[in-house]
Amino acid sequence: MLDRWRDFIDTERWRFDGRDNNLYHVAFREVTVYRAFLGLIQDRYRAAAYEYMARSEAFRLRIETAAATGTAIGPDTMLEQLQLVVRMEIESFYLFARILLDKIALAVHFYFGLHQSGHSLLIRQLAKAGVLPSERLQTLAKDLGKKIGGFRSEQITHQRELRAIRATGYRTGEGPRMILSNLYPTVGDQQFESRPLEELILAIDDYLSEVIEFLVENRESTALQRVGGPSR
């Protein structure tokens, strides 16, 4: 997806004249940068996840053996360190993914000459301006706002529950995820889990693909100065 996005902006920019050519390239290149950041985080996560799961299984076997023989075992400090790294990469992914969504929104707002605002207002601003997004684009934007923006805000950046416990765990066939619950839970408390990063990156790439299609379909509505067009 990253190559397709690069090709799109590198081709599209030459429709615009002088100053807007450069402004367009800089604004849309920020999307490229933050999507690349997610790729780097994902690579680091995979490496740490593989080691974490292997060490977790080895530690589980040690516990079983110790229980069967009545032997005491101490904590695995390396496993604890890997848990920390895995959690850091998951949280980093959500933080940078949320920034990416805002970068996409800012670039699209700029393209159509709209008031600059973040992801949460993108669809509303476009509809208000008469540039109606497709149903699929609206659905993807809403879903990502909830899966990424909502989780990032409620469970990472603005989590103020002092009883909150963040652990890591994994299911067969999936990478590790964050598991969030409360110490001394009450009836109304809920448990939350992060989503697999592979799932999120695919959803983000689907969204980027739909954004490209949307921009292509609405080229004539751009507010940017086009080559050979009337001066503003």
d(CA 9, CA 126): 20
Q: What is the pLDDT of residue 65?
A: 87
Average of pLDDT values for 110-133? 92
The side-by-side arrangement of strands in the sheet containing 177-182 is: 164-169, 177-182, 192-193
232, pLDDT greater than 60:
no
pLDDT at 173 over 90: no
Sequence-separated contacts (24+) of 170-173 with Cβ below 8 Å: 170/49, 170/53, 170/56
* pLDDT category of residue 39 using cuts at 50, 70 and 90: very high
Summary mean pLDDT of the chain? 91
Q: Give the lowest-confidence range in 13-27, 94-108, 218-232.
A: 218-232
Give the pLDDT of residue 165: 84
Task: Say whether pLDDT at 231 is over 70.
Answer: no
Q: What percentage of residues in the chain have a pLDDT greater than 70?
A: 98
- Assign 1 to helix, strand or coil: coil
Q: Which token pair is 48?
A: 């740490």
pLDDT digits (tens, 9 = 90+) for 46-81: 999 999 999 999 998 989 888 888 888 888 999 999
Query: Model's pTM, two decimal places?
Result: 0.91
Average pLDDT over residues 93-121: 95
Q: How far is residue 194's CA from residue 175's CA, in Å, rounded to a whole number?
A: 11
Mean pLDDT calculated for residue range 210-219: 95
* pLDDT tops 70 at residue 229: no
Which residues partner with 193 through β-bridges?
179
Task: Spell out the domain ranges in the chain.
Answer: 2-221
